[in-house]
A and B are shown apart, each in its own frame.
Chain A
Amino acid sequence: MSHATLTTPVRNEQTGEVDPDDIVAVPLRHPWRWFLAVFLLIGFVSLGISLWQNENIDHPTITEFIFNPRILSGVVLTVVLTVVAMLVSTVLGVLLAVMRLSNNPVMNTLAWLYVWAFRGTPLLIQIVFWGYLGLLYAQISLGVPFTDFTIFSVDTNTLIPALTAGLLALTLNQAAYSAEIVRSGMLSVDEGQYEAAYSVGMSPVFTLFKVVLPQAMRVIIPPMGNETISMLKNTSLLSVIAVLELYTVATQISSQNLRQVELLLVVSCWYLFLTSVLSIPQYYLERYYGRGKARTLPPTPFQRVRALLRRSPVTVRRTESQDAS
């Protein structure tokens, strides 16, 4: 190993000049990073030990209920509610955003009113409102206004059971927020893109779907990921109208066995797990819609790990050269 270091510069044999060699410097040390890491590690370990040894937590209860069938069915319903509400509200949100940005004053005002109403009142109140809609309208009927002619009439509580009410509340509320996110994404697309699309004879609707929305997605997806995680946790609010999602099930169980803290821990574990899983599709969606924006796409986590493994020989060489000096 004949690695030259800075202390032994090489003289070029032909020209007699000193060639600057590769720099093999001693890396800058960061002692405070180590101090802080150790300090925090001690803190977390002692917190963990104190929780573990806390006599108020009955560990067997946690292990008993983490995969309990009732809890699992709650998890499934929570996921279904989140997925359905997000999908439908996104479609609605796009529609509202397009209405809001259209030249049509009627559409424009309607979208503005919608966002104003659904964003301006608390989600909890909207959930209760949809859950108890039967108190406002006992019957829902379809007919011609100002006449007695009706096509059908149905009992409100039959038409809208608790689950539907919960889904309606989450979806309609989320649509108002999504609309603003989609609108901001559409506004971020350059005016020249519309002009280019129009100049090749694309209609406004075709331009929207083929040119504007795909570019807006890049801006829309990160906040939408945020909204999805919020939605997942907001489904727990449906416990007020007794929809059997994760949190409702857990409170039902703990009201029987009086193990509130244990079941809250079970529920928290599940929410943490689900939110972690949700960030994976977001990452890949961002990558997909980022194409064409950067000259090279950022690596996926797998590619990053592989690159890290491939880079390790460099570290080996550095230690070798240090040994040589």
Chain B
Amino acid sequence: MHLDSKIPAGPLADKWNNHKAKLRLVNPANRRKYHIIVVGSGLAGSAAAASFAEMGYEVSCFCYQDSPRRAHSIAAQGGINAAKNYQNDGDSVRRLFQDTIKGGDYRAREANVYRLAQVSTSIIDQCVAQGVPFAREYGGLLANRSFGGAQVSRTFYARGQTGQQLLIGAYSALSRQIGLGTVKMYTRHEMLDLVLVDGKAKGIVTRDLVTGAVESWSSDVVVVCTGGYGNVFYLSTNAQGCNVTATFRAHRRGAGFANPCYTQIHPTCIPVHGEDQSKLTLMSESLRNDGRVWVPKNKADCAKPAAEIPEDARDYFLERKYPSYGNLAPRDIASRAAKEVCDEGRGVGQVVDGKRLGVYLDFSAAIKRLGEAEVRARYGNLFDMYENITGENAYKQPMRIFPAVHYTMGGLWVDYNLQSNIPGLFVGGEANFSDHGANRLGASALMQGLADGYFVLPYTVTDYLAGEKSGSRPSNEAPEFKAVIKDVNDRVAKLLSINGTKSPRYYHKALGKITWEQCGMARDKAGLEGAIRDLQALREDFWKNVKVVGSGDALAPELERAGRVADFLDFGIMMCLDALTREESCGGHFRTEHQDAGEAKRDDAHYAHAAVWQWTGEGQLPARHVEPLVYEETQLSTRSYK
């Protein structure tokens, strides 16, 4: 596998500008002759599709939801980072870059992260002009807050609904183009495969979820912005429909998949309450600004109501272990610390599967200091949400929280231009791997999605198209397209015909149990090897005994889930294999064999690289390749938040 990162030469601060100046252009009159397919309509997809159409390209955009406005970017609560330095607290592009690369535990690509920090300021300009109602100060200028793991206030926010407001901004830009006829929008369409012609990505095959029609679409370039794979764990904060199918199908067609074992576990989620639970709900990390995290010092106190546990019998473990960051320690650190105290038997809340998996997030000190009205003004909607789900009033008793899978840093391998190793296949947003390394800092996912969509892909895709002859794209009647359509139809028919005894959800739950227990916050060799064997057996069972009800010619949610679970099963094996072969602890990925008295021990000498996996065939284990991470201006140090 040829992995050329194409990082431009020159000092870090000049790379993007120098590179942009060299990227080729397409004459405005010729742009309409090129057809761009964008898959996914979240921040990256909507922003890219709208921007391409404004430039004059012919664009088709696909999403599985009933409207592009529903993509899961909408659920991001906390905020978006930008190096505006409006607070005069010493922020700069260089500092945002340094925080992000350190937050990623030095496993991200330096040049990409620097570019991300550079374009962050333009994102805020763009969104404000679109009418995104960011929080304001009384003078009318933009407000900021500090957010998980940062020592400056650089996070812009719109109440607890920042993702929603940014997505509506991108959706409105996209909608304008749909109204003008420059973007053709296909909702309730799921990408089920990628079509290659002469080794280049030239189209996709989709299934119309309403009619069941399987169709092919040809284009000059394919841009995949289909989000992450958190649902491989079954329970996650992702939407129910989030899946790995689009990126995994591209992987099966030859695209390298980088760092699949990098997943982010978010510390502030509502704990699991029972067997029939379908989803974990995130409570914004901003709660940690004023809430204090604790568990009882003594196991015997765990079953008591919080109010009956005296102050001196409480262990504020984040403040104890990480005095300089305290409750604001980065996500991976806070998550692992919570898991540790629960594993010690000091968790709180109800017993599920024989364990109490929860820690308190207590606002009593904040209510005493600020008053209940101020706490309500800051977090009222989150307290309401918590009460609605748990039936408990967090003004009167502490919230209970536990870590949950939230974001996936791994994704399709891309070069500096966000192009995968398949020419003509570009990947944006959470679906690619490049910017967050082994851990993502709060408020940087929205930043990356919009950076890719608005300010990177329009330049780099144009450069690619300048090298493709206009009008040279194949017809979707070409044999390559017909062959892929046949593959997709065969697979759908196979899923419908097995007629076994167990539902797709049964397999999804079984898959999640294995991956969460063996490839979650802490991993070891024996557990991962066992997980790979278990997943292989589960996959075999799936293809013999799954029962998919419904028909192929109408809305068939079970068929949709079955197809996604089938890909997750293959993907889960690759994820565990990636975790097994990364013999170090980095970010939230704790290999128990590699630690310094409980703190993660990185191995820069052997693992300062991205692991890139290549599909080798049905039922085979994928092959591992590496892209060494070259740090030109960054000194690798041990991350310490003590």
Asked if chains A and B come from one complex, the reply is: no
Chain B positions near chain A (C-beta within 8 angstroms): none
Chain A positions near chain B (C-beta within 8 angstroms): none
